[in-house]
Structure 1
């Protein structure tokens, strides 16, 4: 490698770091170090980041040993002040020379638009990386996303966990520094059990391999994660099963071990009478185990896989220990299951009066009543009965009072479905109790049943209006009531469930149902706008141009249309197909031109008299008039039927007559009757396009 560059290694050795935040800490530490190098103008090549329960590290290839030399220019006193009448330098000039560290002869004349000055031009050597790196690392550590820092011993240093060692190497050299009360060196440490001794590094590039080969530590987070997944998958296949896992569980297990070894254990089959979701939550949430189910997907097996942090000489003892630990956890779940079923959910409804939702919004009982009334009003739109949605609304919060959900909050709704089925509730009602919480997170499917969809919409509408009325709206990155998620869930349910509903009417009724002392009516428009902003973000996230959303939103504002997410979505999708047509660019540009002409004529928002065929003097304006008349009826029928894509495809027929009209016809003719007639014709064309969206917003390729 070039002598002016060296590889950089920074490793911070600590007590066990928080597992759920380890990946984020690792990525943030690396990005902050790189940002510090860039800000200091220390060039570098690529980098790798590392993290285990006891370390954060970053390796940066080819870091410059010194900042580049900089050209500097300093302006001193005015030339007239720098020299006296005899041409001798004054004290001002001599003082300026001393401040620059040069003789007076090395100064120069600087001429600017504001005058002539005494100046200095020279070079300033860059600082060395060894000088700059300690402060870069200090700043990187200070900017890590750590909610609460701790102290240890009598040291004033603060970090997420006590620090025990520090590596700061540039090439083969250790950069002297004391960070977080720890002196830098070139010694790392291996696995607590397999290799507790220090490992002396000769140069940064051997870091990962030496830890792996000598220290029994897989420092690379992604490599360790892949190894765990491979071991778990292999172990499951050997048992003729498949492991249940998600990214969050896999990341957390990866953050708990340095030398992973997957082992399979068993538990008593009698526990399989408990709903599988409860067993899975217990195994994954409490023990970080991977549950197993049959390959034929016939149900959960009485087996699990755990990932140990060492290679034991007696694996059977490790397995037996884990089996002893999981037994009381599963026994608790079984006890909750048996106890909860002794009382039907309906008997718990009065207890909701004693559970506060929000101080000014009442109890969960009050919220359930509001959801039921709101749902009843829109029941026909979802094809369910008012009695069904009211029953679901009253039962929807009752499982929060069960022992199982008290222990496993993530099972709310899921356990409601099981308990309702046990109580003999209607199947659709039991299913809706679970589905009403969907989508629970980004990418989660919406409720599949109409009753579940209505519950999801009504519950979120009540929450949005209520929390907005309390003035607790999201700010920046803070959204403690998950209102953004609630709005997206409501919108996705309407769109993906293909349910037409007037959002403003929904929020108006939700506001009317709020307690009298809460001024919720003022929040209808803010909540509606909040939802539209979320809808715009949803389309951008799915890589649709922002102009498609604006084309439809502008139309709804211009024509005062109701905001119906499903109708809105169909219009956006129609525009998305329309812009793929070869005629789209020309028609969008023509639409903008028509709008501008009508606006400059002061006629863009005024109704015109019908076009008078007798005043159509030019062949091309007659041809356009005939084309518009021929399409108008069919397009109106398609728009009324919600067939927006077909309507826009028919409008593409107008491209040629519109282009020829503008090529040959003077709209602003001298004769008033002719001019007004042509403006009326353009207004007809504009209204045709506005039947689906404001086409002038669509991308034109200009």
Structure 2
């Protein structure tokens, strides 16, 4: 018999929750492989499978048996193992009996701490077949299941009732049970197309055996088929599907045998803003909307079925019938919403709570308006547009359309503003003020829109911090971390030169009639924003020590912070960087142990050694370059020039005794090192860089 086998483990269930399927499959596979690794079982390629009615893993070349293991069993010390005549003591005899040997057969363990009796026991490895029941049970137990179901007599609880269990090593069925279901080689085929169960003869046949029963077991393959089939149908009519990665995942989790069909709806519905129609088709029905080459929504859509119908026209008609009332609802809400202006809805916002201590959404809108106008002024944008957009930004929340379809908030405000004759800048800023809504989302396209978006996020940050409901661990009910990252992205990527402390103070001032936001709280918000830089840059692959070196300087502008990080990232690639970082660390340690508070200007008359004179001259020669570069934000140029200090610094430490006996000379040399350190600190604390 081969020393390895292909291992298949499948849990066949009732329909699994589609939005959780991929996570369940990933968790199941990870748990199986982690356990095999922990049991010292070697294996090869790992394949995951997931359909609406199963999760499975196929592992190739799995070691059938653990390797034998040598276990050292140490006995009593020699001094305690034998008496004066050299006879074994009771301690030695008892130990030998316990490990199954004679004392005479024991080996000796000699260390610098003494000598002991030793037995090198060989523990036979266990057969994989005997280990698998516990592995499968543990993997099922570890699945991320927020809520379980009970079935039958209610004896067992799992994410869905278990219908089949298959555990096979090549062509051998591993006997075991899970939730009362005995392992078998019979799999669930397609619910409608399969003629009964699928009998599996060997583990490696798994994906092909299911395919014969109209089940594409691979989630990735099925997802790709969904996309390819939809693209092919769309291409036939010169259209493009409106893709959504989450929707693709969900649709692939709903079908085992994907078949794409094209359907249509009444073109009259196209008078409704396309965003509302797209949301209805995607989120309510899991359909793929279609657009033309200009991005205009077409009165057609693609849907994915789980069957190859003999009468597809009937299936199409059924889906067209289902979507019609949903689109009619959207049309009704849109038509009725247009009867009332956005501005007239502001009063209704006063009855919608933002947070009990922070007032209503109406209060928030007025604060956003005030702060957005101020920010727009600072950015040289149209303050009147930003002020008006800030006031109207939340008004669509009380529209019928948004109350029915919350995901189109902001978008509908834009359309209603246009209908009301508001300036286009106001309409665009209303739509943009929620951006970026998630990682990778687009940013506001206008400066006025950015001003409103910044004001909105600042208002939430300042208010929630002021009432002490800051994020704790994983808890962040108001999405403050997301708001902070969005704020940083806008300031950096749109190159908005705003001072954190200034805009925080202005947002705090807008709360004056509601709550008092102390300077201590404002500092806390500033620190929170600085802390978000670390997470944001780490996601971009920036080294932690680079980020820390800039954080130590606490820049008050996001754009300035970004320039410093990029400059230090370039600096660490220089051949001089490691030595200069080490030198700065040495300087930092020396100054930390000295009283540098009252250091006077450097007295050139006290510079005795050629090395310290050379360092002084080098620092003076670079001072103007450093000051000019820092003033213009050209930190790359500053650090590039400072890299030239490597040789003078090396010579200084090689030839000069900093802690000279004469106090005046010692103080003068400390002043020289302070000047050196301050030139680097103008950009970052590079002493924090790891060598």
Q: Quickly name the TM-score band, shorter chain normalised.
A: over 0.9
**Partner-residue secondary structure (3-state), 1:646:** helix
Report matched runs for 1:315-394 at 5 Å.
Answer: 315-384=312-381, 386-394=383-391
**Partner-residue secondary structure (3-state), 1:354:** coil
Residues in 2 aligned to 1:118 and 1:638: alpha-carbon distance in whole angstroms: 71
**Pairing partner for 2:557 from 557, 564, 569:** 564
Residues in 2 aligned to 1:82 and 1:671: alpha-carbon distance in whole angstroms: 66
Counterpart in 2 of 1:130? 129
**Deviation sequence 1:11-67 (CA, Å, 0-9, x none):** 111111111111111111100111111222222222100001111000111222222
Shift of 1:203: 0.9
Structure 1 contact 598–683 (Cα < 8 Å) conserved: yes
Counterpart in 1 of 2:626? 635
Counterpart in 1 of 2:183? 184
> 1:119/1:587 Cα in 2 relative to 1: closer, same or farther (>3 Å)?
closer
Counterpart in 2 of 1:216? 214
Counterpart in 2 of 1:576? 569
Counterpart in 1 of 2:687? 696
Structure 1 contact 588–696 (Cα < 8 Å) conserved: yes
The normalised TM-score by structure 1 is 0.91
**Deviation sequence 1:367-395 (CA, Å, 0-9, x none):** 22332333344342232455443322221
Gaps of 5+ in 1: 557-561
> 1:123/1:661 Cα in 2 relative to 1: closer, same or farther (>3 Å)?
closer
**Partner-residue secondary structure (3-state), 2:483:** helix
Residues in 1 aligned to 2:83 and 2:654: alpha-carbon distance in whole angstroms: 74
The normalised TM-score by structure 2 is 0.92
Counterpart in 2 of 1:201? 200
Residues in 2 aligned to 1:434 and 1:101: alpha-carbon distance in whole angstroms: 79
> 1:665/1:91 Cα in 2 relative to 1: closer, same or farther (>3 Å)?
closer
Counterpart in 1 of 2:281? 283
**2:597 corresponds to 1:608:** no
**Deviation sequence 1:71-104 (CA, Å, 0-9, x none):** 2344567778877899887877666556545677
Counterpart in 2 of 1:559? none
Report matched runs for 1:233-632 at 5 Å.
Answer: 233-294=231-292, 296-384=293-381, 386-514=383-511, 520-521=517-518, 522-556=520-554, 563-603=556-596, 605-609=597-601, 611-632=602-623
Residues in 2 aligned to 1:171 and 1:193: alpha-carbon distance in whole angstroms: 29
**Pairing partner for 1:648 from 634, 639, 642:** 639
Residues in 1 aligned to 2:118 and 2:681: alpha-carbon distance in whole angstroms: 65
Report matched runs for 1:99-114 at 5 Å.
Answer: 99-100=98-99
Residues in 2 aligned to 1:494 and 1:627: alpha-carbon distance in whole angstroms: 36
Shift of 1:298: 4.5
Deviates more, 1:689-698 or 1:167-176: 689-698
**Partner-residue secondary structure (3-state), 2:234:** helix
Shift of 1:581: 3.7
Residues in 2 aligned to 1:353 and 1:601: alpha-carbon distance in whole angstroms: 60
Counterpart in 2 of 1:227? 225
Shift of 1:311: 1.2
Residues in 2 aligned to 1:52 and 1:393: alpha-carbon distance in whole angstroms: 46
> 1:635/1:86 Cα in 2 relative to 1: closer, same or farther (>3 Å)?
closer
Size of the aligned set, in residue pairs, is 690
Deviates more, 1:381-390 or 1:303-312: 381-390
Residues in 1 aligned to 2:614 and 2:42: alpha-carbon distance in whole angstroms: 66
Counterpart in 1 of 2:4? 5
**Deviation sequence 1:119-149 (CA, Å, 0-9, x none):** 6542222222122111111111111111101
**Deviation sequence 1:567-603 (CA, Å, 0-9, x none):** 1112222222333444444443433343344344433
Structure 2 contact 376–447 (Cα < 8 Å) conserved: no
> 1:316/1:418 Cα in 2 relative to 1: closer, same or farther (>3 Å)?
same
**Deviation sequence 1:373-429 (CA, Å, 0-9, x none):** 333443422324554433222212111111211222111111111111111112111
Residues in 2 aligned to 1:588 and 1:113: alpha-carbon distance in whole angstroms: 41
**Partner-residue secondary structure (3-state), 1:25:** helix
Counterpart in 1 of 2:58? 59
**Partner-residue secondary structure (3-state), 2:158:** coil
Gaps of 5+ in 2: none
**Partner-residue secondary structure (3-state), 2:6:** strand
**Partner-residue secondary structure (3-state), 1:378:** helix
**Deviation sequence 1:482-535 (CA, Å, 0-9, x none):** 221111011111111222233234334444544788675353333322222211
**Deviation sequence 1:291-314 (CA, Å, 0-9, x none):** 1111x2251111111111111122
**2:22 corresponds to 1:29:** no
